[in-house]
Structure 1
Amino acid sequence: MGTQWSRSESDSSLLLVPEVGTGWQREDDDDSLDGLDRQEDIARFPYVEFTGRDSITCPTCQGTGHIPSEQVNELVALVPYNDQRLQPQRTKLYVVLSAVLCLLASSLVVFFLFPRSVVVEDDGIRSVTVQFDHVNAKVLINMTSSLNFTNSNFFTVMVDSLSCQVLYMKTVIGTMQLDNVITIQPLSQRQVNFTVSVQISGSTSYVYAFCTMASIKVHNIVVIMQTSVKTSYMMRTAQNTLEAYRYIDCGSNSTVHQPPRRLWQ
């Protein structure tokens, strides 16, 4: 009822020989082990490095099955050249797709943030008010003009200042200055009305006689309006100027709208 160990003379290896009259018996309980029990048994089996006649112990782990923690930053893993990890798939497709996406994003940024010029349209004169100073022989005129602003940008535009100067025969007869005029929203239009007070006297006092002459029905005079507009947007400042001729009836008040004569940017 036991196992006998014997050593043959021709071989130095040990032989496991069962006793006579006895055989290998497997209990029925061994057949009842399922796959899970076998996996648990294998997991509890310690690491053993088997070395043969033509093999040597791993110099890195010294047969322990793990790398020392102090050598983690010193060791380099060698991967075969034909390893699948060194041959990524669809590399060209990813590179082309990334380049196309970058170009598309850049184009959108340029399209939405590229500054465009603010279009200013002269809408002419809205009304003219004429008064006379008979004592000093002066002609006092208030001219109300209009400007239309068109913002084609995708951001807000500020109209910082609007100035106007009126000349008659190269003589300045009126000025006007407005600051912080309006704010124009993206892709929108705004209109600005401004009034310039004009006084004709002194060296041009003959205009008073012309404007008050009863024998003339229409007392038209020509004045020059020089208008300047300063706008700012996206850390950029722009200035637009216009010089236009105005025909004014200095003999009476007028509220007839005179259409624009020039488009400027």
Structure 2
Amino acid sequence: MEEQENEKNNLVNDRRSYSSRLGSTSYGSDSYEELLRGSVPCPTCRGKGNIPKEQEGELVALIPVRDKRLKPRRTCLYVGIAVFTCTVIFYSRCLYVGIAVFTCIVTAGLLFFFFSQRDVTIASNVSLLLPHNLTIDTAKKYVYFEVTYPFNISNLNYFPITLTQTSIAVQFNVKVINTTVSTFTLNVPMRSTRKFDVNVGITFSKDNGLAAMAYVYY
């Protein structure tokens, strides 16, 4: 209490000196106390209404609590716009990442589907083969003739293939009497079937133990 009383007296004295400098004597101690009743003096100017010029760059001015500058307008709107923008950016990036991942998965699946190897089948539906270029040598006791074996090659892949060589073994009574290797170039497009023929030479003689078959042809 004593400290507050001293501070009030100092304020009154300062106010009186300020009034005397302005040439006004209308401010007395009673009127100034009435002015300060129910309030506190400004901590910056200490109730003088002005501050020393040499302290102009040091003292801080106070802004009233009810000043509109302390109450930003449309805060909720700005916060909502910021949250909405961040949400849109986040989900847009998630969408882009999802699309990229989906595209990679689909591309990998398509590549695997189209470029995975499938069967290449070679088959013939001819049950009877007729000989041609028949040669019979009674002195050496052998018979030689050729047969043409037709084949169908089917490419089930989604890319073309090339057939360059075939090997056919002729077997009689569990005995291989001849093996024919044919070299050629046959291009088979994707998902298609091509025909080709292979000539096979067959010999019946003493060398392969089938001389008895040669006598049949005599």
TM-score interval w.r.t. the shorter chain?
Answer: 0.5 to 0.7
Question: Over residues 37-63 of structure 1, what are the superposed CA-to-partner deviations in whole Å (9 max), with x where a residue is unaligned?
Answer: xxxxxxxxxxxxxx98279xxxxxxxx
Counterpart secondary structure, 1:97:
helix
Q: Which has the higher contact order (CA 8 A, sep 6+)?
A: 1
Give the one of 114, 117, 122 matched to 2:116: 114
Residue 135 of structure 1, aligned match among 139, 147, 153:
139
Determine the structure 1 residue equivalent to 2:28. none
Determine whether 1:90 maps to 2:97.
no
When residues 100 and 12 of structure 1 are mapped into structure 2, their CA distance, relative to the original with a 3 A threshold, is closer
Q: Any idea what SS the aligned residue of 1:90 has?
A: helix
1:180, distance to aligned residue in structure 2 (A): 4.2
1:128, 1:166 → 2: CA distance?
A: 14
TM-score, normalised to structure 1's length?
A: 0.46
Residue 98 to residue 177, structure 1, CA distance change in 2 (3 Å): same
- Indicate the residue corresponding to 1:232 in structure 2: none
2:215 to 197, 209, 234: 209
Provide the C-alpha distance between the structure 2 equivalents of 1:116 and 1:104, rounded to a whole number of angstroms.
20
Aligned length: 145
Q: SS where residue 108 of structure 1 aligns?
A: helix
Q: Distance in 1 between matches of 2:59 and 2:195?
A: 97
1:198 to 184, 192, 202: 202
- Match in the other structure for 1:53: 60
Give 1:102 deviation, angstroms: 2.4
Let me know the Cα RMSD of the aligned residues: 3.4
* Cross-structure match for 2:105: 103
Q: Which residue of 1 aligns with 2:9?
A: none
Structure 1 pair 180–142 and aligned structure 2 pair: CA distance change class (3 A): closer
Letter aligned with residue 90 of structure 1: Y
For 2:212, the aligned partner's letter is Y
**Distance change >3 Å, CA 54–CA 192, structure 1 → 2:** farther
Verify the 8 A CA contact 1:173 1:198 in the aligned structure 2. Answer: yes
1:140 to 1:100, Cα distance in 2 relative to 1, 3 A: same
The Cα of 1:126 is off from its aligned counterpart by 5.2
TM-score, structure 2 as length reference: 0.54
Q: Structure 2: how far apart are the matches of 1:120 and 1:145?
A: 12
> Which among 161, 165, 179 is matched to residue 165 of structure 2?
161
Which structure: greater strand fraction? 1
Change in Cα spacing, 1:210 to 1:176, as seen in structure 2 (3 Å) is same
Change (3 A) 1:103 1:146: same
**Structure with greater helix percent:** 2
SS in 2 for 1:53: coil
One-letter identity of the residue aligned with 2:131 = V
How far apart are residue 97 of structure 1 and its match? 3.3
Alpha-carbon distance between aligned partners in 2 of 1:83 and 1:186, rounded to the nearest angstrom: 56
